[in-house]
C-alpha cells in the first residue's frame, strides 16, 4: 500500500486529484495536509470523509514539526505537493506569503522526504516558470526558466530546490509543469470561474489589457491523470510538461462563456492590464505522451460547457465563497481594476 502525503488537497486541483485516486485505486492511502487558506475548502471533499483510505489534517507545510510528525505517524512513502499560493494577481499585491509557502514550505517537505526516505516526491509546478512566449514556439522541458511574476518566481525557486535535492541527495523527485487548468471547484478568482459567475450575476467581466493574451487550457481531470502516471512511472530528476494544446485568447473564452449563458457582450469591460502580464503560454507535452502514452481526453469547447454547467448547478458552493470574508479582503485590496 502506498501512503501518500497530498498537500493542498482542499484546493481546486488537489481535491479533484484526491477524488480521482480514491475512486479508482484501493492500493493508496492518502493523508491530505492543507492549511485551509481562503482557497482551501473542505466542501470539495465531502464525499471522501468516510473513506477508510483517507485522512485530513489541517496544517501548514511550513510547520516542520507537524510535517515530521505526519511522515512518522503515517509512514509516508510518497509526496504529491500541490500546496501553494496560486494566484498571480495576489502575488502582485504581496509576495511574502508566496515565498513562504511555495519555497520554504516545499523545502520543509523535501527535507522530511529525505529523512524518511520516500520513494517518490512529485512537485506540482506550472508552465509559468518558463516566462512568456512570442507568437511562435512552445515551452519544452529544456526551455530555460524565466519567471516574470512573484508567483512564478516562487514556483521556479521551488523547482530548483526540488532538483537540487535530487542532484545532491538522490531524492527521487519528479516535477510536473502544467498549463492553465479549468473545471469544477476552481476558486472564483481565476479567469474562467470568475467570468462565469459574473456573467450569471449580470456583473461586468473585467478583461485585462486588450484581452489577446493567450493561455493553453487543460481540463483538470486530464492533468490529474498525468500526475497519477508521473507518481507511478516518473523518472527521478525528470521534468514533465503537461498540456492539452488548447491555446485560446482570453477574450475568445469570455465570448464563448457569454454565448453559452445567453448574455450580452456588453458585459465585457476592458480594464487596466495586469502589471508584467505574460503574453502567451503554450506547452509541448510530447515527452509525457511518448514515455507514458498519456493524452488529454477532453476537448476545450466540450469541457468548458461541462464546467459552465457545473457552476450553474453548484451555485451554493460559489455563493458561500463570494459572500465570505476572504473575497472581501481581496476585493478591498485590488483597487486597480481601472476601466480603460
Active-site residue numbers? 127-128, 151
| Least separation in angstroms between CB 87 and ligand TDX | 5
CA–CA distance, 58 with 140 (Å, rounded to integer): 36
CA–CA distance, 295 with 340 (Å, rounded to integer): 41
Q: By the criterion CB under 6 A, which residues form the site for ligand NAD?
A: 7-8, 10-14, 33-37, 39-40, 60-62, 82-86, 101, 105, 124, 126, 155, 178, 180-181, 187
Residue closer to ligand NAD, measured from CB, 16 or 77: 16
Which residues share a beta bridge with 249?
214
Which residues share a beta bridge with 32?
6, 56
Residue closer to ligand NAD, measured from CB, 62 or 225: 62
Q: How far apart are the first and last CA of the chain?
A: 56
- Which of ligand NAD, ligand TDX, none lies near 213, with the C-beta cut-off 5 to 8 A by kind? ligand TDX
CA–CA distance, 35 with 40 (Å, rounded to integer): 7
Q: In what order do the strands lie in the sheet with 2-7?
A: 54-58, 28-34, 2-7, 78-81, 120-126, 173-178, 239-242
CA–CA distance, 130 with 142 (Å, rounded to integer): 10
Residue least distant from ligand TDX (Cβ): 126
CA–CA distance, 138 with 145 (Å, rounded to integer): 13
Q: By the criterion CB under 6 A, which residues form the site for ligand TDX?
A: 86-88, 126, 128, 180, 190-191, 194, 206-208, 213, 215, 250, 274
Grid cell, residue 131, equals: 516566462
Residue closer to ligand TDX, measured from CB, 166 or 215: 215
| Least separation in angstroms between CB 208 and ligand TDX | 4
Residue closer to ligand TDX, measured from CB, 60 or 85: 85
- Which of ligand TDX, ligand NAD, none lies near 112, with the C-beta cut-off 5 to 8 A by kind? none
- Which of ligand TDX, ligand NAD, none lies near 11, with the C-beta cut-off 5 to 8 A by kind? ligand NAD
Grid cell, residue 143, equals: 526551455
| Least separation in angstroms between CB 195 and ligand NAD | 15
- Which of ligand NAD, ligand TDX, none lies near 226, with the C-beta cut-off 5 to 8 A by kind? none
Amino acid at each position: 500500500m502506498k501512503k501518500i502525503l497530498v498537500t493542498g488537497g482542499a484546493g481546486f486541483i488537489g481535491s479533484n486529484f484526491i477524488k480521482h485516486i480514491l475512486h479508482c485505486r484501493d492500493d493508496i492511502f492518502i493523508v491530505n495536509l492543507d492549511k485551509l487558506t481562503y482557497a482551501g475548502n473542505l466542501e470539495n471533499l465531502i464525499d471522501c470523509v468516510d473513506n477508510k483510505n483517507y485522512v485530513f489534517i489541517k496544517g501548514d507545510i511550513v510547520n516542520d514539526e507537524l510535517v515530521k510528525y505526519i511522515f512518522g505517524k503515517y509512514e509516508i512513502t510518497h509526496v504529491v505537493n500541490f500546496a501553494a499560493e496560486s494566484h498571480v494577481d495576489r502575488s502582485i499585491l504581496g509576495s511574502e506569503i508566496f515565498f513562504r509557502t511555495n519555497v520554504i514550505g516545499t523545502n520543509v517537505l523535501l527535507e522530511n522526504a529525505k529523512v524518511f526516505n520516500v520513494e517518490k516526491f512529485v512537485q506540482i509546478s506550472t508552465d509559468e516558470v518558463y516566462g512568456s512566449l512570442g507568437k511562435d514556439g512552445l515551452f519544452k522541458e529544456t526551455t530555460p526558466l524565466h519567471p516574470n511574476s512573484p508567483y512564478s518566481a516562487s514556483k521556479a525557486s521551488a523547482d530548483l530546490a526540488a532538483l537540487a535535492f535530487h542532484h545532491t541527495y538522490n531524492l527521487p523527485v519528479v516535477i510536473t509543469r502544467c498549463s492553465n487548468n479549468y473545471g469544477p471547484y476552481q476558486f472564483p478568482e481565476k479567469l474562467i470561474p470568475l467570468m462565469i459567475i459574473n456573467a450569471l450575476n449580470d456583473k461586468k467581466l473585467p478583461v485585462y489589457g486588450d484581452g489577446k493574451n493567450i493561455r493553453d487550457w487543460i481540463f483538470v481531470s486530464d492533468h490529474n491523470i498525468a500526475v497519477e502516471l508521473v507518481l507511478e512511472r516518473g523518472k527521478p530528476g525528470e521534468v514533465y510538461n503537461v498540456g492539452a494544446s488548447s491555446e485560446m485568447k482570453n477574450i475568445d473564452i469570455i465570448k464563448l462563456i457569454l454565448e453559452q449563458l445567453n448574455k450580452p457582450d456588453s458585459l465585457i469591460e476592458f480594464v487596466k492590464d495586469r502589471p508584467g502580464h505574460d503574453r502567451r503560454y503554450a506547452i509541448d507535452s510530447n515527452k509525457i505522451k511518448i514515455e507514458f502514452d498519456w493524452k488529454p481526453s477532453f476537448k476545450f469547447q466540450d469541457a468548458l460547457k461541462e464546467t459552465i454547467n457545473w457552476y450553474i448547478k453548484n451555485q451554493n458552493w460559489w455563493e458561500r465563497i463570494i459572500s465570505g470574508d476572504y473575497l472581501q479582503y481581496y476585493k478591498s485590496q485590488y483597487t486597480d481594476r481601472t476601466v480603460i
